[in-house]
Each structure stands twice: as structure tokens, then as C-alpha cells.
Chain A
Amino acid sequence: MGTATPLSTAHVTDAETPAFRGESLVTDDRTIYDEMIAPLEATMMRSIWRVVRKADLAEDCLQDALTVIWKKRLEIHRHPNPPALILKICLDSAYDALRRIGRMRRQTDLSPLDNAPADHGADRSLEEAEFEQQVQRAIRRLPKKQALAVMMRLIHEEPFSAIAQALGCSEVTVRIHISKGRAQLRKWLSPLCQSHRQEEDND
């Protein structure tokens, strides 16, 4: 299992480049791609995968995220923390995908995407798949900003300052989002987590 690397530390060098500070005059598309997106390709893929956990869905989300990033490329280029903003866009796209699944499920009561096991091979237990889906459901039930703040902080271990820059709010607001999101998740997931822990203990 890979460990989460905070973008703010992993890409300090990138963030300090003139292009990321918006100082460079060279803003042609190729340069923007090479300087801003290419170094984050792996992070983008992994951040989306960690949330949606299905190859088809991850591809769709990446496509959506790339479209948004490209439309907002100049805005991102001038942003104080482009890597954090790009991560936020990717997670945003993954969150939207989870919401879409939720809507489909409500409409059809049997969304194929929601009920298919995630792409992890045949040896993965159904209980684990069900647990994953329950946690995804809980995340998508959170308001968007809470969900994004929770994912950026608790899953990707981003610093509060980076999350605040990405969400365009203050650090205090980020802390409130995370606190509220955490409280909701504890409420929704407690029975599930306890039974999951019991199963782990029994194993």
C-alpha cells in the first residue's frame, strides 16, 4: 500500500517555480501542460482511484477533471497553490461520480456501478466490497465542501493551509468543514466500523 504524500511537501519545488507563482511570461499551452499537469499525473490518477475504486469510473472522472483543469488552466496557473487546486478538482470529479451513482441507484434501485465489486481481483471478499460501498455512500451524503475537505485532509493528509487555498476559504472554515464532516461520518459509519473491526478481530 502506498502512503499518502502531502502535495504541499511533495511538490514544493514545483510550487516554487516561477510558472507556478505566475511570474513567467511563458504561458503557452504546452508549457502549462509540462509544468503544471505532467508532474501531477500520478497524483491525479491515484487521488481519483482512491475514491471511486473502479477502473471505468476512474477513467471518466479523470477525463472530466482534465477538461475542467484545461478550461481553468490560466486560473490554476495564477493560483497560489496549483497542485492543491488540481487535487481538489480531481476529488471534486470523483465526488460528483459518487453522487451520480447514488442518483442512479435511487432511480433504478439497482445501479450496476454501485453493486459491481471494485476492480481488485477475485479474491476480494464481498464484505470488504460492501464496506467500501458503505463508506463511499457516507462520503457522498456529505455536503460537497465538507466531503472535499475531509478527503483532502483525512485521506491525502494535506495541510489546512493548502486545503483552504484550494477551497477558497479560510483555514478556520476548513477546520469547521472537517469537524462537521467527521462528526457525520462517525455517526453514519460507527455501526459499520464496529462490525468490521469485530470481523477483523475474529479473523
Chain B
Amino acid sequence: MTKRDISEPDLDRFLKQTFRDDIPPEAEARMNRHFRHFENNLAQQDAQAGPHRGLWGRGIFRKEIMAFASAALLIAGAVMHLSGNQSVLAHSIAGVKTVVTVSSRLLRVASMDCMILKRDAGNDPYSCRVRWDASGISRVDLNASTGEKRTLWIPDGAGPRALYESLAARSTSIQAMPADPMWQPALEFLTPAILAEHLESRYGLVRALHQHEAERNQVLLVGLDNQQAVEVAVDVATYLPITIKKYRQDSRPAGGGRACLEEIRFQWNQPIPKELLLPKFAAGSKSVN
């Protein structure tokens, strides 16, 4: 080692700087395609292999276990048939499977663009737009009924110190979420991971019995949230949610002209300009949309 050699911290800094984490969206999208292609191949293999795959194929189940399971299934089938609950159970299982698939898909999306339209009784309607990408920043644009526009940048998993709020043309670091309840709906859909958590555990979703009311290529899931009925329309091609609608719990079932209290529309994996997700660039900009 000579005196002219750089120090270890300098070397570390140069390496980090050179091999920085700045994957362009185009490259990310191209690599993402490989995962989807890989996944599709896997699904095709599963379909071709049929029922003799997995646990059966590997001989994990022993005869005794299978005999016991068969007997248990026969008894369960008879009980369900007599009780008349088979449809509910089937829908419940299908719902759980769908929710799990949706949830796993949500955890691997590259970006989320979500529009929240709130029409609470007694309050003026207002809208929120939440944009998130894999860099981990969520941007929330609030359009109040008064015409006031406010923007928040919330880093993924960061503490409140990392929040930035933009009022009109400036953005400043703030210490905590604004107390205004108008921000609350946005917090529910701040990141795909948070949304996945709500779908899995908060709404108690099951597959809707009235699937005929769903649009083509969609699956309808229904659940409850704070005494509101929740309907989630899932795209069967991507298994990602397209819309979430919330109604008063005591209102009539879908299709009967129920008043929708909140509607959330999603777009997934669309490129989001990087400058929109960086408060320092947005600071000088008056146009946030």
C-alpha cells in the first residue's frame, strides 16, 4: 500500500457511488417482463402437469393420511350438504384464494396510481390522488372541495420527520401528518403493501355471490370496513384491484342504485415521472398534477 492509495472509506464511497441504485424505469420494466414470463411458464406447467404434481408427485402423503383425509372430507361434505352452507363455504375459500393472489401481486408492482373520490354524507365531496413507485415514495395530492390543493410526500416506512408538505408553490419538511381528516382516506392506500394488508385482514373479503354484476374479466370481492360495505373489483388477467367501492352497510345490494360513499380507482405499473415523487423538484412547481 502506498501513500497515494485512497482511504478505505473513500473506496467504499466510490464503489457505492458507481454501483448506485438508479435503475431506469425502462430497464426495470424489461426485467419485470422476465419475471412475468417465468411466472406464466410456471402456471402453464402446473396446468399441464395436472393433479399428479406437487405433494402427490413427491409421495409426501402417506396412505394412512390420505385415508383419514378422505373420511374427513366425506363427513364434512355430508354435514355441509345437510346444513346447506356449501355455497357460502365455497365462495369463502375462493375469496381467500383470490385475496391471497391479489395480495402477492400487489407486493411486486412497480408503480401505483390511485384516485380516491370521497362523497361522505354531510361533507363536501373531495378527491385524493396517491402515486407510488418502487423507489418507495408516496405522493398524495389532495383536491378539497374548496379548490385548495395540497401535496404530501411520504417515504415508504419512514418516520414522520421525513414527510414533506407542499402548500401552493413551496414544499417544506413537516414533523407529523396533518391532523386534517381529509388525509385519512389516502393513508389507507398509501402503498401497495398497505393496500394488500387491508385486503387480507381488514375488509374480511369473500367472493361476491352476485358475480354477474361484475364487468367482464373481473372478479368481485365483498367485505366490510367500519360499518361500510366494501366491493373490490379485481382484474382476472393481472389479479390486481381495479376499483374499490364503499357503500353504507344498510343500503341495498349492488345494482340497486346504492349511493357510493367512496370510490377508489387504480392504475398499475404505469410510468410515473420521477420529478413528481421528489419534493425538492416539486417545490418550485405550481402545477402538481
Contacts and interface: CB of A to CB of B under 8 A. Distances in A.
A154 B21 contact: no
Interface string A89-133: 000000000000000000000000000000111000000000110
Contacts of B16: 4, 154-155
B42 A25 contact: no
Q: Is the interface of A mostly helix, strand, loop or mixed?
A: helix
A38 B21 contact: no
B5 to A, nearest CB: 5
Interface in B15-52: 15-16, 18-24, 26-28, 30-32, 34-35, 38-39, 42-43, 45-46
A3 B21 contact: yes
A145 interface: no
A16 to B, nearest CB: 17
B14 A189 contact: yes
B interface, size bucket? 35 or more
B18 A66 contact: no
B121 interface: no
Contacts, number: 128
Interface majority SS (helix, strand, loop, mixed), chain B: helix
A44 B18 CA distance: 18
Chain A interface: which size bin? Answer: 35 or more
B32 A190 contact: no
A135 B38 contact: no
Contacts of A131: 18
B20 A1 contact: yes
Contacts of B39: 33
Contact of B34 (A30, A62, A183): A62
Contact of B8 (A151, A182, A194): A182
Interface of A: 1-4, 25-30, 33-34, 37-39, 41-42, 45-46, 48-51, 53, 55, 58-59, 62-63, 66, 70, 119-121, 131-132, 135-136, 150-151, 154-155, 182-183, 185-187, 189-191, 193-194, 196-197
25 contacts: A3-B21, A4-B16, A26-B55, A28-B55, A29-B54, A30-B46, A42-B134, A50-B20, A53-B19, A62-B34, A70-B38, A120-B24, A135-B18, A151-B19, A154-B16, A155-B16, A155-B19, A185-B15, A186-B1, A186-B6, A189-B14, A193-B6, A193-B10, A194-B6, A196-B14
